[in-house]
Structure 1
Amino acid sequence: MNTHATTDKGQIRSQEILGTAQAILASEGYAGLSMRGVASQLGISLSTVQHYYTNKEALVEALLTYVMDNYQTAVAQVMNAMSDKSQLERFKTIVDLILIEIRRPDTFGVLAEIYALSNRLPFAARLVEEVYARERKEIFKLIYGLEPKISKVEYKLRAAMIVVQIHGLVSQLAQDNDPSLSRKQLEQAARQSFMMLATKA
């Protein structure tokens, strides 16, 4: 987050800006997102938005970090609440949480837009790779050791595959170009694939 957002008041304002930017990006896309538009919706000056985020790219980068931080906070809360459950039960619950999270319009819209932008904007491609790296690390921690016969190296590969499939699901849902496949069917297939990768030697 921008270093200007260090005080409590600054953090609140920063989160207001990010929340508004998230809603705009999810509903109107990158082309519809502007610093001035965010300022207008919040009823603040453009210079106030620029005080926290110097330009549109910086705003989108902070927004993606904000979305990922919120997701990881939710995961941590679930893990803490399920500390007495088995590793497999925790993983199944986190899979359900992931599938619920990418159903949310404000999360789904942001991720789908960033993935689309990554094909033509270098900064978006860098952001996507950062998200991939972060998620690979988190998924690895969730699945490593579920099957003792699977090596650490193999589990890292499998974590990478799960992450690719998560983002593939987001892209597929964004395109929605195959009416024969419902969201429920796609999510069930993803769930089965994740479980196989996590547990089958």
Structure 2
Amino acid sequence: MRLRTIVVLFATAVATSACATSESGHPPPSSSAVNPAGAPKVTNPLTNTSGVEANPCTAVAVSDVEALGGKVSRTTVDDTTAGLACGWIFADGSGSINAGFATGAKDGLGGLYARNASGSLKAFEVQPPVRGYPAVVYDDGLSGSGACALAIGVRDDLAFIIDAQLRLGNRGMSDPCAMATELGGDVIAHLKSS
């Protein structure tokens, strides 16, 4: 498991700010459909996130994670500066998925949009909405083969981050972002049903 990666991802989310500026140095135009950093507004915000914030391993059942990537040998909860993150560690050293709400960052996806605008991300790609919620895949330079960092905006001020770090032997290795997206959909479905 790459604990350092999830800690850095969450810490980076906290360090970013929605106070982005455009190329001209002026704040970007805002509208009812866009947050100040250019992130799309969340039109159907989820408000019942406190249970998963307090215990991120309840975001989905272990069986849901195993259906995507194989046998989970153990779970961990990591206390990061941005919030608690659950780590699902796959058996046979085939990687891990770390996920949780970035509660320490108060700008949702806006921080990542701001970092992209400033050029501090290695990659940034807007994704189709995950069950109606805006999402981005990003790389802050810590990723490699079998890795994907996905952030889903569940409110304008809150994002759920999934960091897949997969290795040989994991069935999701060939497309870790598809695995992260499917898991994100499961998290959204869980939150909507609770």
Q: TM-score, normalised by structure 2?
A: 0.28
The structure where helix makes up a greater share of residues is 1
Q: TM-score, normalised by structure 1?
A: 0.27
The structure where strand makes up a greater share of residues is 2
Higher relative contact order (CA 8 A, sep 6+): 2
Give 1 or 2 for the bigger CA radius of gyration. 1
